[in-house]
Amino acid sequence: MSIVHRPSDEALAAFAAGTLDEGLALVVAIHLEIDPVSRQRLRDLEAVQGALLEAAEPAAMSGTFGVLPLASRGIADSGRPAAAPERGLPRVLRPYVIGPWRKIGFRIAMRRVDVPGAEARVFMLRAAPGVSLPHHKHSGLEWTTILSGAFEHDHGRFATGDFDEAGEEHVHTPRVDPVEGCTCISAVTGEVLFQGWLGRILQPLVRL
């Protein structure tokens, strides 16, 4: 696997700061889980945060620390779901409820990832080899991480692990790899305007 497309500095900095919309952050996190190079960029940004903390002007606390609970030894935070992760899915999806695959057209299926409170809608899309996804444009962002296979559009070829950071100006017609097909996960803000027959089917399903 050789990853070519990575998040912009701006997107990664917002992820590191924890200020990205949760839906967008999730798709970035999946890329980070796959790509050690981007993970290292994230660690560097976190090191900058640590340096800023160390150099910060202290502000007096109004209280000292209260009653300390018993220190736990290597025990993970409460509230972590015990549910076994689904095989083959990125681990960062563990905390989320994911719907079943649903056919949404000839050789295309999608499943919704439920991200309560997020502005972006998140869904996985699986397309058979050679399929052309509907021609569309959007008024917001469409960030995608490729989970397997590949697609290609005006801005290049995107294969496993690649991150496609499409903004408002993009109009694209992704063509799915003729041999491998493609499974990807996308977070979409604003409106996506599909064109053509498949778009008309997809539009209500993606609730856009």
Partner 1 sequence: MVAALALTRTEMAGAHGGRVVALFDPNALIDAIARSGDRDAFAKLFDHFAPRLKGLLLRSGAPPELAEEVAQETMLTVWRKASLFDPAKASAATWIASIARNRRIDIARRDTRLRLSQVYEILDEDEPERPDDLLYGAERDALVRSAVSELSVDQLRVVELAFLQGCSHQEVASRLSIPLGTVKSRLRLAMAHLRGRLEDLR
Q: Residue numbers of the site for partner 1 (CB under 8 A)?
A: 9-10, 13-20, 22, 25-26, 29, 32-33, 36, 39, 42-66, 68-77, 79-80, 91-92, 94-96, 115-117
88-to-30, 93, 132, 183 alpha-carbon distances in Å: 12, 11, 25, 12
CB 130 → partner 1: shortest distance, Å?
Answer: 34
Dig out the tokens for 189 from the structure. 């803000």
Q: Which is nearer to partner 1, 4 or 48 (CB)?
A: 48
∠ CA 28-34-36, nearest 5°, is: 100
Q: Which is nearer to partner 1, 10 or 154 (CB)?
A: 10
Helices 22-34 and 9-17, interaxial angle, to 10°?
110
CB 32 → partner 1: shortest distance, Å?
Answer: 6
* Helix, strand or coil, per DSSP, at residue 157: strand
Instruction: Please give the DSSP secondary-structure letter assigned to residue 184.
Output: E
Q: Which is nearer to partner 1, 40 or 103 (CB)?
A: 40
Q: Which is nearer to partner 1, 156 or 167 (CB)?
A: 167
CB 126 → partner 1: shortest distance, Å?
Answer: 22
CB 68 → partner 1: shortest distance, Å?
Answer: 6
Q: Which is nearer to partner 1, 66 or 88 (CB)?
A: 66
CB 4 → partner 1: shortest distance, Å?
Answer: 20
Residues 6+ apart with CB under 8 A from 93: 26, 30, 85, 86, 113
Residues 6+ apart with CB under 8 A from 19: none
